[in-house]
Amino acid sequence: MKGLVHSIETFGTVDGPGIRFVLFLKGCPLRCKYCHNPDTWTTTGAQEYNVEDIVNRVLKYKGYYGDKGGITVSGGEPLVQMDFVIELFKELKKHNINTAVDTSGFMYNPNNEECVRKHEELNKYTDLFLLDIKHIDNLEHIELTGVPNDNTLAFAKYLSDNNKDMWIRHVVVPGITLNDEYLIKLKEFIDTLKTVKKIDVLPYHTMGEVKYNNLGIEYPLKGVRTPSKEEIINVKKILGVIKNDN
Ligand code: SF4
Protein backbone atom coordinates (compact mmCIF):
# COMPACT_ATOMS: atom_id res chain seq x y z
CA MET A 1 0.00 0.00 0.00
CA LYS A 2 1.30 3.46 -0.91
CA GLY A 3 1.13 6.59 1.21
CA LEU A 4 1.03 10.05 -0.31
CA VAL A 5 3.67 11.94 1.62
CA HIS A 6 4.33 15.66 1.85
CA SER A 7 7.53 15.52 3.90
CA ILE A 8 9.43 13.72 6.65
CA GLU A 9 11.12 15.10 9.75
CA THR A 10 13.41 12.61 11.48
CA PHE A 11 14.03 14.49 14.76
CA GLY A 12 10.75 16.18 15.62
CA THR A 13 10.37 17.48 19.18
CA VAL A 14 6.98 19.25 19.18
CA ASP A 15 4.53 16.66 17.86
CA GLY A 16 4.22 14.25 20.78
CA PRO A 17 6.49 12.99 23.56
CA GLY A 18 10.27 12.60 23.16
CA ILE A 19 12.10 12.70 19.85
CA ARG A 20 9.91 11.62 16.94
CA PHE A 21 9.88 10.69 13.31
CA VAL A 22 7.16 12.96 11.91
CA LEU A 23 5.47 11.86 8.72
CA PHE A 24 3.43 14.60 7.05
CA LEU A 25 0.81 13.11 4.76
CA LYS A 26 -0.89 14.91 1.88
CA GLY A 27 -4.58 15.74 1.67
CA CYS A 28 -6.94 17.66 3.94
CA PRO A 29 -10.68 18.37 3.72
CA LEU A 30 -10.42 21.36 6.08
CA ARG A 31 -9.31 24.87 5.16
CA CYS A 32 -8.25 26.36 8.47
CA LYS A 33 -7.59 30.06 8.07
CA TYR A 34 -4.41 29.79 10.14
CA CYS A 35 -3.11 26.66 8.40
CA HIS A 36 0.64 26.92 7.97
CA ASN A 37 0.78 23.92 5.62
CA PRO A 38 -1.56 24.86 2.72
CA ASP A 39 0.75 22.86 0.46
CA THR A 40 -0.58 19.68 2.14
CA TRP A 41 -4.23 20.32 1.20
CA THR A 42 -4.17 18.51 -2.13
CA THR A 43 -2.28 15.43 -3.23
CA THR A 44 -0.53 17.35 -6.01
CA GLY A 45 3.21 16.81 -5.87
CA ALA A 46 2.97 14.00 -3.28
CA GLN A 47 5.87 11.60 -2.90
CA GLU A 48 4.74 7.98 -2.82
CA TYR A 49 6.14 5.65 -0.18
CA ASN A 50 5.10 2.14 0.64
CA VAL A 51 4.75 0.95 4.25
CA GLU A 52 8.06 -0.92 4.14
CA ASP A 53 9.96 2.20 3.01
CA ILE A 54 8.72 4.17 6.01
CA VAL A 55 9.23 1.30 8.47
CA ASN A 56 12.85 0.92 7.34
CA ARG A 57 13.45 4.62 7.71
CA VAL A 58 11.95 4.72 11.21
CA LEU A 59 13.96 1.69 12.33
CA LYS A 60 17.16 3.37 11.17
CA TYR A 61 16.66 5.99 13.89
CA LYS A 62 15.05 3.72 16.51
CA GLY A 63 17.96 4.17 18.94
CA TYR A 64 17.33 7.93 19.10
CA TYR A 65 13.63 7.60 19.84
CA GLY A 66 14.04 5.52 23.02
CA ASP A 67 10.98 4.50 25.09
CA LYS A 68 9.25 7.88 25.02
CA GLY A 69 9.71 8.92 21.40
CA GLY A 70 8.51 7.23 18.24
CA ILE A 71 6.51 8.19 15.18
CA THR A 72 3.83 10.84 14.71
CA VAL A 73 1.74 10.87 11.57
CA SER A 74 0.60 14.39 10.79
CA GLY A 75 -0.51 16.32 7.72
CA GLY A 76 -2.66 17.55 6.18
CA GLU A 77 -5.27 15.39 7.80
CA PRO A 78 -3.48 12.03 8.08
CA LEU A 79 -6.68 10.02 8.54
CA VAL A 80 -7.71 10.82 4.97
CA GLN A 81 -5.20 7.99 4.36
CA MET A 82 -6.56 5.85 7.18
CA ASP A 83 -5.79 2.48 5.53
CA PHE A 84 -2.16 3.43 5.02
CA VAL A 85 -1.79 4.65 8.61
CA ILE A 86 -3.31 1.42 9.96
CA GLU A 87 -0.96 -0.75 7.89
CA LEU A 88 2.04 1.38 8.83
CA PHE A 89 1.32 1.33 12.57
CA LYS A 90 0.56 -2.38 12.49
CA GLU A 91 4.05 -3.00 11.12
CA LEU A 92 5.74 -0.52 13.46
CA LYS A 93 4.10 -2.11 16.50
CA LYS A 94 5.92 -5.36 15.61
CA HIS A 95 9.09 -3.35 16.38
CA ASN A 96 7.70 -1.72 19.56
CA ILE A 97 7.64 1.77 18.11
CA ASN A 98 5.51 4.31 19.97
CA THR A 99 2.82 5.65 17.61
CA ALA A 100 0.87 8.91 17.55
CA VAL A 101 -1.60 10.56 15.18
CA ASP A 102 -1.98 14.33 14.91
CA THR A 103 -5.56 14.81 13.71
CA SER A 104 -8.49 17.20 13.49
CA GLY A 105 -10.83 14.28 14.26
CA PHE A 106 -12.90 15.30 11.26
CA MET A 107 -12.74 11.88 9.63
CA TYR A 108 -14.58 10.22 12.53
CA ASN A 109 -18.25 9.81 11.69
CA PRO A 110 -20.05 8.07 14.56
CA ASN A 111 -23.04 7.32 12.32
CA ASN A 112 -21.03 5.39 9.77
CA GLU A 113 -20.36 1.79 10.84
CA GLU A 114 -17.47 1.25 8.45
CA CYS A 115 -15.82 4.45 9.63
CA VAL A 116 -16.17 3.47 13.30
CA ARG A 117 -14.79 0.00 12.53
CA LYS A 118 -11.71 1.51 10.89
CA HIS A 119 -11.11 3.81 13.84
CA GLU A 120 -11.34 0.78 16.13
CA GLU A 121 -8.68 -0.90 14.03
CA LEU A 122 -6.49 2.19 14.14
CA ASN A 123 -6.87 2.41 17.93
CA LYS A 124 -5.34 -1.04 18.33
CA TYR A 125 -2.02 0.25 17.00
CA THR A 126 -2.03 3.87 18.21
CA ASP A 127 -0.59 4.93 21.57
CA LEU A 128 -1.56 8.59 21.50
CA PHE A 129 -3.84 10.95 19.62
CA LEU A 130 -2.96 14.62 19.31
CA LEU A 131 -6.44 16.02 18.78
CA ASP A 132 -6.76 19.54 17.41
CA ILE A 133 -9.92 21.22 18.60
CA LYS A 134 -9.92 24.22 16.32
CA HIS A 135 -12.93 25.98 17.86
CA ILE A 136 -15.37 24.88 20.54
CA ASP A 137 -18.24 26.87 19.01
CA ASN A 138 -19.72 25.11 16.00
CA LEU A 139 -20.52 28.21 13.93
CA GLU A 140 -17.11 29.72 14.64
CA HIS A 141 -15.56 26.35 13.74
CA ILE A 142 -17.31 26.43 10.37
CA GLU A 143 -16.15 30.00 9.82
CA LEU A 144 -12.57 29.08 10.75
CA THR A 145 -12.19 25.71 9.01
CA GLY A 146 -15.07 25.35 6.54
CA VAL A 147 -16.51 22.32 8.39
CA PRO A 148 -18.54 21.75 11.61
CA ASN A 149 -16.92 20.49 14.82
CA ASP A 150 -19.35 17.68 15.66
CA ASN A 151 -17.10 14.88 14.33
CA THR A 152 -14.15 16.28 16.28
CA LEU A 153 -16.07 16.47 19.54
CA ALA A 154 -17.58 13.01 18.96
CA PHE A 155 -14.08 11.67 18.33
CA ALA A 156 -12.79 13.17 21.59
CA LYS A 157 -15.63 11.45 23.47
CA TYR A 158 -14.98 8.20 21.59
CA LEU A 159 -11.27 8.26 22.59
CA SER A 160 -12.21 8.97 26.20
CA ASP A 161 -14.84 6.20 26.29
CA ASN A 162 -12.29 3.78 24.82
CA ASN A 163 -9.50 4.72 27.23
CA LYS A 164 -7.22 6.11 24.54
CA ASP A 165 -4.72 8.74 25.63
CA MET A 166 -4.98 12.10 23.95
CA TRP A 167 -3.37 15.50 23.97
CA ILE A 168 -5.72 18.35 23.13
CA ARG A 169 -4.19 21.02 20.89
CA HIS A 170 -5.67 24.47 20.50
CA VAL A 171 -4.36 27.32 18.39
CA VAL A 172 -4.84 30.75 19.97
CA VAL A 173 -5.73 33.40 17.40
CA PRO A 174 -6.65 36.97 18.43
CA GLY A 175 -10.20 37.77 17.34
CA ILE A 176 -11.05 34.10 16.73
CA THR A 177 -10.16 31.73 19.58
CA LEU A 178 -8.64 34.26 21.98
CA ASN A 179 -11.93 34.76 23.82
CA ASP A 180 -12.49 33.95 27.49
CA GLU A 181 -16.07 32.78 26.93
CA TYR A 182 -15.04 30.24 24.29
CA LEU A 183 -12.02 29.13 26.28
CA ILE A 184 -14.18 28.48 29.36
CA LYS A 185 -16.54 26.44 27.17
CA LEU A 186 -13.57 24.51 25.78
CA LYS A 187 -12.29 23.81 29.29
CA GLU A 188 -15.73 22.57 30.34
CA PHE A 189 -15.74 20.17 27.40
CA ILE A 190 -12.19 18.95 28.12
CA ASP A 191 -13.21 18.32 31.73
CA THR A 192 -15.79 15.78 30.51
CA LEU A 193 -12.98 13.67 28.97
CA LYS A 194 -11.17 11.05 31.06
CA THR A 195 -8.02 10.44 29.04
CA VAL A 196 -6.56 13.88 28.32
CA LYS A 197 -2.87 13.72 29.25
CA LYS A 198 -1.88 17.20 28.14
CA ILE A 199 -3.29 20.42 26.74
CA ASP A 200 -1.06 22.03 24.14
CA VAL A 201 -1.69 25.77 23.80
CA LEU A 202 -0.29 26.87 20.45
CA PRO A 203 0.11 30.60 19.81
CA TYR A 204 -0.91 31.59 16.28
CA HIS A 205 2.06 32.56 14.11
CA THR A 206 2.33 33.98 10.62
CA MET A 207 5.13 31.75 9.31
CA GLY A 208 2.79 30.05 6.82
CA GLU A 209 1.98 33.32 5.03
CA VAL A 210 4.86 32.97 2.59
CA LYS A 211 3.51 29.57 1.46
CA TYR A 212 0.17 31.16 0.54
CA ASN A 213 2.03 33.74 -1.53
CA ASN A 214 3.98 30.98 -3.28
CA LEU A 215 0.75 29.08 -4.01
CA GLY A 216 -0.98 32.22 -5.26
CA ILE A 217 -3.66 32.00 -2.54
CA GLU A 218 -4.72 35.06 -0.60
CA TYR A 219 -3.70 34.77 3.06
CA PRO A 220 -7.00 34.69 5.02
CA LEU A 221 -5.61 36.15 8.24
CA LYS A 222 -3.75 39.08 6.73
CA GLY A 223 -3.16 41.68 9.42
CA VAL A 224 -4.09 39.40 12.34
CA ARG A 225 -1.50 39.78 15.06
CA THR A 226 0.15 37.05 17.08
CA PRO A 227 -1.00 36.76 20.73
CA SER A 228 1.13 38.35 23.46
CA LYS A 229 2.94 36.39 26.15
CA GLU A 230 0.45 37.67 28.75
CA GLU A 231 -2.51 36.56 26.63
CA ILE A 232 -1.06 33.07 26.29
CA ILE A 233 -0.56 32.90 30.07
CA ASN A 234 -4.22 33.87 30.53
CA VAL A 235 -5.32 31.15 28.07
CA LYS A 236 -3.20 28.59 29.93
CA LYS A 237 -4.81 29.64 33.22
CA ILE A 238 -8.34 29.29 31.83
CA LEU A 239 -7.52 25.87 30.38
CA GLY A 240 -5.88 24.78 33.64
CA VAL A 241 -2.43 24.28 32.07
CA ILE A 242 -0.97 26.57 34.71
CA LYS A 243 -2.39 27.50 38.08
CA ASN A 244 -4.21 30.77 38.60
CA ASP A 245 -1.80 32.06 41.23
CA ASN A 246 1.30 31.54 39.00
S1 SF4 B 1 -6.54 20.50 9.50
FE2 SF4 B 1 -4.37 20.98 9.59
S3 SF4 B 1 -3.62 20.74 7.49
FE4 SF4 B 1 -5.86 20.82 7.38
S5 SF4 B 1 -6.31 22.97 6.95
FE6 SF4 B 1 -6.41 22.69 9.17
S7 SF4 B 1 -4.36 23.21 9.94
FE8 SF4 B 1 -4.21 22.86 7.71
Mean pLDDT in consecutive groups of 10 residues from the start of the chain, 246 residues: 96 97 98 96 96 98 94 98 98 98 98 97 98 98 98 98 98 98 98 98 93 94 96 98 79
Distance CA 9, CA 64 (A): 13
Q: How far apart are CA 235 and CA 240, in angstroms?
A: 8
Residues near ligand 1 (Cβ within 6 A): 28, 30-32, 35, 37, 40, 75-77, 104
Q: How many CA atoms lie within 13 A of 119 on its CB side?
A: 22
Could you give the residue ranges of the DSSP H alpha helices within the chain?
A: 51-60, 62-65, 82-93, 113-124, 138-145, 150-161, 180-190, 209-215, 229-238
Residue closest by Cα to atom 7 of ligand 1: 35
Could you tell me the distance, in angstroms and rounded to a whole number, from the CA of residue 32 to the centre of ligand 1? 5
Number of the ligand 1 atom closest to the C-alpha atom of 104: 1
- Which residue among 32, 33, 172, 202 is best mutated to probe the pocket of ligand 1, counting the most ligand atoms within 8 A of its Cβ? 32
The Å distance, Cα 130 to ligand 1 centre, comes to 13
Supply the pLDDT for residue 246: 52
Q: How far is CA 134 from the centre of its chain?
A: 10
Type of residue found at 7: S
Instruction: Using a cut of 0.85, tell me whether the model's pTM lies above it.
Output: yes
Q: Are 102 and 113 in contact (CB under 8 A)?
A: no
Q: Which ligand 1 atom sits closest to the C-alpha of 40? A: 3
Q: What's residue 1's pLDDT? A: 87
Distance 9 CA to ligand 1 centre (A): 18
pLDDT given at position 95: 97
